Amino acid sequence: MSNLSYINDNDGAWQTYLAQIDRVAPYLEHLKEYIDTLKRPKRALIVDVPIVMDDGSIRHFEGYRVQHSLSRGPGKGGIRYHPDVDLNEVMALSAWMTIKTAALNLPFGGAKGGIRVDPRSLSLRELERLTRRYTSEISHIIGPQKDIPAPDVGTNPHVMGWIMDTYSSGQGHTVTGVVTGKPVHLGGSLGRIKATGRGVFITGQQVAQKIQLPLKDAKVAVQGFGNVGSEAAYLFVQAQAKIVAIQDHTGTIYNPEGMNVDALKLHLEQHQGVAGFTDAKAISNDEFWTVEMDIFIPAALEGQITAERAQNLTAKLVLEGANGPTYPQADDILTQRGVTVVPDVICNAGGVTVSYFEWVQDMASFFWSEEEINQRLDALMIKAIHDVWQTAEEKVCSLRTAAYILACERILRARKERGIFPG
Ligand code: NAD
């Protein structure tokens, strides 16, 4: 239960996050007096974002930037433009960024921002005005040493370019390191777009070895075939696995023999999604959850693996490409059934890891090749998943709990070693 006066005790994402902290708390007895730090954001800013619309009228939007923890370094986390954005959601997303950066041992805290808006309802000029006004409203708390935003749902590299330009205008000089996920010619990093899918594959490959699941001929099912899902799936095919089922917003397709990836890529170039792909048959969205599979990659939305779906899922390995795809109860069922789940805070951390590389490159004004980026990404992800695996063995717990133990230890130790000002 939240003891913050500005948060209602409803079923929001913040309450899910608090429940996760309560689960890990028994493993952190030696740091228990600091655990409350995790249960409240360090700073939460709510801003009014008024803009002049194309028709001359004025509209007001609600914007947020929450810095959950800055104990280990500057805040890091995306900016979401979505009509459902609210303080509860942004707080939870910022807290999950704290856990993710600590789980990967990146020198960042966790932050997140957003505007309660449907970006598709705005013209390009209105979107630019909205982004620039929002940036100016939060500009006193962001910066390369303070808090570094990035794209999230509803925002993209183009939006990051406007943020960088607006912030730089206020500083009087170009500050590329204030955001990551920028276009490459504005100081963005090579390899960023494919990084999350690559991380899903790398962590999946490592864990498959541990549980003795051969990738050759392994049956892979993917929910969400966008940036994350498609890149991860293609890398599994390169490792001789087969894509047997895909579900996206247009429908669900299934081919137990494995789909022809070249034909699939061509189909996706010509259509909005997987529906209508002729090298597979269409099945119902419900059937997707029961097809025979070895590896399942949820890479679409949060809250997809319910208790009922967890009961029927045939996969031996679940790789959480999406953030928060598994309900806590479903997580317990999968664990009881012996299904290995690589949790989102490790599995999809490839994106924030290359964002870290982008920030380092911007600070040094020295840019690396894509090969170098991928090598460094692979090395960090492999180390992180091995550390989590070892902790899970030592503590006899799930990989999710192990990742939280490692991350929370790092965050709370930093808090302890810094001390509580003024002492
Ligand atoms: P994307 O927009 O490129 O792709 C989303 C995919 O989900 C699309 O294929 C879409 O058709 C599908 N989808 C949407 N609604 C669906 C529904 N109701 N049922 C089934 N499929 C549906 O997004 P992305 O960048 O690939 O992100 C996917 C997930 O990964 C999100 O949860 C995101 O938060 C998470 N994530 C992304 C990154 C990143 O770097 N892109 C990093 C960390 C986590």
Q: Which atom of ligand 1 is the closest one to the Cα of 325? A: 32
Most ligand 1 atoms within 8 A of CB, residue of 249, 267, 289 to mutate: 249
Q: Residue 356 above 90 pLDDT?
A: yes
Judge whether 112 counts as a catalytic residue.
yes
Span 123-177, pLDDT tens digits: 999 999 999 999 999 999 999 999 999 999 889 999 999 999 999 999 999 999 9
- C-alpha distances in Å from residue 257, one per residue of 204, 240, 245: 21, 12, 10
Is residue 9 very low, low, confident or very high in pLDDT (cuts 50, 70, 90)? low
Does the C-beta of 401 come closer than 6 Å to ligand 1? no
Span 359-400, pLDDT tens digits: 999 999 999 999 999 999 999 999 999 999 999 999 999 999
Does the C-beta of 247 come closer than 6 Å to ligand 1? yes
The pLDDT, as a whole number, for residue 6 is 82
Does the C-beta of 20 come closer than 6 Å to ligand 1? no
CA nearest to 321, candidates 338, 340, 296: 296
Q: What is the mean pLDDT of residues 199-223?
A: 98
Q: How many CB atoms lie within 10 A of CB 361?
A: 21
What architecture is domain 41-174?
A: 3-Layer(aba) Sandwich (3.40)
Q: Residue 10 above 70 pLDDT?
A: no
Q: How far apart are CA 113 and CA 153, in angstroms?
A: 11
Is residue 1 very low, low, confident or very high in pLDDT (cuts 50, 70, 90)? low
Does the C-beta of 248 come closer than 6 Å to ligand 1? yes
Does the C-beta of 333 come closer than 6 Å to ligand 1? no
The pLDDT, as a whole number, for residue 67 is 98
Does the C-beta of 303 come closer than 6 Å to ligand 1? no
Residue 191 CA, ligand 1 centroid: distance in Å:
18
Residue 193 CA, ligand 1 centroid: distance in Å:
13
More confident residue, 163 or 16: 163
Residue 356 CA, ligand 1 centroid: distance in Å:
21
Whole-model pTM: value is: 0.95
The pLDDT, as a whole number, for residue 302 is 81
CA nearest to 268, candidates 285, 282, 248: 248
Looking at the chain, the whole-number percentage of residues with pLDDT higher than 70 is 99
The pLDDT, as a whole number, for residue 328 is 86
Phi, psi of 61 (to 5 degrees): -120, 155
Nearest CA to ligand 1 atom 25: 227
Q: Residue 3 above 80 pLDDT?
A: no
Domain ranges of the chain: 41-174, 195-347
- Strand-pairing partners, residue 343, are none
Does the C-beta of 223 come closer than 6 Å to ligand 1? yes
Answer whether 240's CB lies under 8 Å from 192's CB. no
Q: Residue 5 above 90 pLDDT?
A: no
Span 298-315, pLDDT tens digits: 999 888 999 999 999 999
DSSP state string for 50-112 = EEE-TTS-EEEEEEEEEEEE-TTSSEEEEEEEETT--HHHHHHHHHHHHHHHHHTT-S--EEE
Residue 407 CA, ligand 1 centroid: distance in Å:
25
The pLDDT, as a whole number, for residue 305 is 95
Q: Residue 316 above 80 pLDDT?
A: yes
Q: How far apart are CA 228 and CA 34, in angstroms?
A: 35
CA nearest to 142, candidates 107, 169, 167, 108: 167
Q: How far apart are CA 346 and CA 339, in angstroms?
A: 17
Q: Which residues contact 328 (CB under 8 A, 6 or more apart)?
A: 16, 19, 20, 23
* CATH number at 195-347: 3.40.50.720
Do the domains at 41-174 and 195-347 have one common CATH topology? Answer: yes
Does the C-beta of 319 come closer than 6 Å to ligand 1? no
Most ligand 1 atoms within 8 A of CB, residue of 104, 156, 227, 289 to mutate: 227
Does the C-beta of 157 come closer than 6 Å to ligand 1? no
Q: Residue 183 above 70 pLDDT?
A: yes
Span 80-110, pLDDT tens digits: 999 999 999 999 999 999 999 999 999 999 9
The pLDDT, as a whole number, for residue 2 is 67
Q: Which of 76, 112, 194, 242 is catalytic?
A: 112
Residue 230 CA, ligand 1 centroid: distance in Å:
10
- C-alpha distances in Å from residue 320, one per residue of 116, 131, 185, 205, 301: 26, 30, 31, 13, 10
Q: Which residues contact 47 (CB under 8 A, 6 or more apart)?
A: 62, 63, 64, 65, 134, 137, 138
Residue at 111: amino acid letter: A
Residue 225 CA, ligand 1 centroid: distance in Å:
7
Does the C-beta of 273 come closer than 6 Å to ligand 1? yes
The pLDDT, as a whole number, for residue 360 is 98
Residue 226 CA, ligand 1 centroid: distance in Å:
6
Window from 71-80, 178-187, 319-328, 409-418 with minimum mean pLDDT: 319-328
More confident residue, 185 or 3: 185
